[in-house]
Structure 1
Amino acid sequence: MSANWIPGNKVVLLENGEEYFPRVFECIANAQREVIVETFILFEDKVGQQLAEALIAAANKGAKVDVLVDGFGSPDLSDAYIGRLTSAGVRLRVFDPGPRLWGWRLKMLRRMHRKIVVVDGERAFVGGINYSADHLADFGPQAKQDYAVEIEGPLVAQIHRFVLHAIAAGGAGRSWLRRRVPAVQFDSLPESGSVAAQFVTRDNRRHTNDIERHYRATIRAARHRLVIANAYFFPGYRLIRELRRAARRGVDVRLILQGEPDMPIVKTAARMLYHHLMHAGVKIYEYCERPLHGKVALADDEWATVGSSNLDPLSLSLNLEANVVLRDREFNQHLYERLEHLMCNACNQVQVQDVEEPGTWRMVRSFFVFHLMRWYPSWASWLPTHTPRVMAAEAVTSATPPRNLDRSPDRTVEA
């Protein structure tokens, strides 16, 4: 885990698609030299069409435009949509595309789950928001609650270098294009603000647990306040243990989890942990206004994180993820105010009596659940580790038989 904080950044919190999409599309469309986009989900709904318009506008101005989407999260891009982008000069690539078997998508493990945009090497966006209409309130009751950050300053140089290497390495650390990646120094961009920050990633090679280690170290160091809002919550044994220890030493530990999940199993899995956490003093709030999709946290008065990583086995042990970790009082306080607004106005606080069960069953279930959590980082390494492929989108569509191009979001995808 890197201990290098990069000072001098300006970081702005963007909440939901209403704040995120207009800002990121404006920056992409106005790019002069380069646009790099990585995303798990890209649908051909109104948001996907707006992204295409922004990318094409940048390409028409002469900017070099690269887009990497995940083959599992974005499986149904039509030939027309792809052709519209590629004919404008956009290089659209698919991370580890796979065939379908009786309509089911295969290769669901070890996905490219990052959501990153870098514009002209000077501005970056990192978070959990995909390019789909279900991140907008007008989508209806299933619209998602989510967060991202816009970054200016020296940290952008590190993020820029990372995405350049991701393009060259096919998104996962192996040579693909075999072109030289220019060295970008952290001090190559001027200071833009007062935020100290780190860019933390997770992969299946050198950085297998960096994000989880940041979480655990922060929980251990917390002294008076810890708030975690996470959509898919089923972390490992060690992180659960640190949360319990923090609550027992007097830290105000609050978890904001899904009360109206997009996948029912999410709530079922999280609730298996409730009694163990609550008996140690952890407060749990279920967000019930709409599905929670955020992956954010804060500790004490300065530390905060925003990114793509859930606190579940997929994100912590399998997927490719990216978070920004921040140290700034103003950002910490602003994020706390937004999360407190959720807790006060859109959440139900879970009470101990709501989760009590017969003692014997609870003990037996807890035994198996916690031993499963304790060992999953080890057995996750036994799962398939084929070398992911990155293919040009045109090659993927030409190799794939015709399929139903329903553009409605697939509710079985954890995003």
Structure 2
Amino acid sequence: MSGYATDTQAAARRWTEGNRVALLENGEQFFPRVFEAIREARREVIVETFILFEDKVGEQLHAALRAAAARGVKVDLMIDGFGSPSLSPGFIGGLTSAGVQVRVFDPGRPFFGQRLNVLRRMHRKIVVIDSALAFVGGINYSADHLLDFGPKAKQDYAVELAGPIVSEIHRFVLQAIAIGGKGPGWYRRRLKATAQDNIAPAGEAAVQFVTRDNRRHTNDIERHYLAAIRSARRRIVIANAYFFPGYRMIKEMRRAARRGVDVRLILQGEPDMPIVKVAASLLYHHLLHAGVRIYEYCERPLHGKVALADDQWSTVGSSNLDPLSLSLNLEANVIVRDRSFNQTLWERLDALMRNNCKRVQASDLGEWSAWRLVRSFFVFHLLRWYPSWVGWLPRHAPQVKPLDTPVPQDAGATRTDAA
């Protein structure tokens, strides 16, 4: 069976019909909706996030979770030990004393002020409320997702979901809690107590919830991207913060452009980490000469992980198109099949390209040189083989640590902005 057939079959499975999907852009749209949903919760709130900072956004989440727990709602919060390293004992204690179950994915102590547990992170951003409403995307709980943060405020996206797909997302987050120490018996009881057996349709969108892990679903998100690129006939738009994808994806983008598809990339022009732009720019020659259009978002750091193909397929989630997200981290995206949502996402991205981006031209890159050819050769083969050799990187079994008392922190630990 060809790789194309396999990818197409994988992408054709598990569509859940009858959902409502709303695009949320930046913290200004995302945070009010999440905090409102938590305030209205009656039975259960589950939050997974890579980054939670003790700033004005983190304090608002803190207050909302405490209030929910105080009125008898079961509240579970999962944070990542690398992404959320410096929460104070008072902040954590305020949650646990109110009855919030706080868990840390793979906590690790800094070594001489440096956090070394960078591999295989829990990078998902998910909220589930009463098994009836869910949020999935790339937005963390930190003030740098708000415009008033200043020039370093991030451009990002998430979705709000209602309908039958929420049952699938709910089962997934409950399983994550169970694997973290609660066990299968707890999982069955919790699911039975909270799941709604027949969630009524809430809209017209077909949705798939797609995750990446280091066990059974090592390349699911990448396969969906590949299937969409291969089947596109009119347009492909990918906006991604950390762009250094595998060889296959580069090859399929070039093929799509050469067969007449309007392929556009929106990448960072003002990156939060300079190496991000350096890595992506190594690929510019190969993509531009195949007809791919590249736009650098120059307003502020781009943090989005979204894409669309033709007039129905779209994706929003936590997965970057780089080695960490595609081969190491735990990620979650939703794939949406809906013309209205696709059109909304296209309008937002089109406005971004027209108003806030600089289009990169081949003439901007300079002439080919012997050094550029040599460098290009090695970069391309690195891309081709990294999915194989990345498996040799340390494969420790990350632990999920429940917090009855705060995890001790090293004052020298620094925050991360790569999310």
**The TM-score by the shorter chain falls in which range?**
over 0.9
CA–CA distance in structure 2, aligned partners of residues 396 and 79 of structure 1: 5
Tell me how many residue pairs correspond in the alignment.
405
CA–CA distance in structure 2, aligned partners of residues 252 and 218 of structure 1: 13
Pair 1:414 & 2:400 matched: no
Partner of 1:369: 379
Superposition map of 1:244-393 within 5 A: 244-393=254-403
Partner of 1:403: 411
CA–CA distance in structure 1, aligned partners of residues 38 and 210 of structure 2: 24
Instruction: Pick from 197, 204, 209 the counterpart of residue 194 of structure 1.
Output: 204
Task: Supply the AA of the counterpart residue of 1:386.
Answer: H
| SS of equivalent to 1:8 | strand
Aligned 8 A contact 2:86 2:409 in 1? no
Partner of 2:5: none
Partner of 1:60: 70
Q: Tell me how large the CA RMSD over aligned residues is.
A: 1.5
Partner of 1:224: 234
| SS of equivalent to 1:52 | helix
Task: Supply the AA of the counterpart residue of 1:179.
Answer: G
Aligned 8 A contact 2:264 2:294 in 1? yes
Partner of 1:85: 95
Shift of 1:414: 1.6
CA–CA distance in structure 1, aligned partners of residues 336 and 39 of structure 2: 28
Partner of 2:3: none
Aligned 8 A contact 1:93 1:393 in 2? yes
Identity %, equivalent residues: 68
Aligned 8 A contact 1:155 1:186 in 2? no
Instruction: Pick from 1, 7, 17 the counterpart of residue 27 of structure 2.
Output: 17
Evaluate the alpha carbon distance shift between residue 180 and residue 366 of structure 1 in structure 2; reply closer, same or farther with a 3 A threshold.
same
Partner of 1:135: 145
Residue by residue over 1:270-326, the C-alpha shift from the partner in whole angstroms, topping out at 9 and shown as x without a partner, is: 000001000000000000000000000000000000000000000000000000000
Pair 1:179 & 2:185 matched: yes
Shift of 1:176: 5.0
Instruction: Pick from 145, 164, 169 the counterpart of residue 174 of structure 2.
Output: 164
Partner of 2:134: 124
Instruction: Give unpaired runs (5+ residues) of structure 1.
Output: none
Aligned 8 A contact 1:129 1:148 in 2? yes
Aligned 8 A contact 1:77 1:405 in 2? no
Shift of 1:57: 1.4
Partner of 1:236: 246
CA–CA distance in structure 2, aligned partners of residues 126 and 403 of structure 1: 32
Aligned 8 A contact 1:154 1:187 in 2? no
Relative contact order higher in (CA < 8 Å, ≥ 6 apart):
2
Aligned 8 A contact 2:19 2:205 in 1? yes
| SS of equivalent to 1:10 | strand
Task: Supply the AA of the counterpart residue of 1:259.
Answer: G
Evaluate the alpha carbon distance shift between residue 176 and residue 8 of structure 1 in structure 2; reply closer, same or farther with a 3 A threshold.
same
Superposition map of 1:25-36 within 5 A: 25-36=35-46
Aligned 8 A contact 1:113 1:308 in 2? yes
Shift of 1:29: 1.6
Task: Supply the AA of the counterpart residue of 1:403.
Answer: A
Shift of 1:401: 5.3
Task: Supply the AA of the counterpart residue of 1:239.
Answer: M
Pair 1:155 & 2:161 matched: no
| SS of equivalent to 2:396 | coil
CA–CA distance in structure 2, aligned partners of residues 413 and 319 of structure 1: 16
Instruction: Give unpaired runs (5+ residues) of structure 2.
Output: 1-9
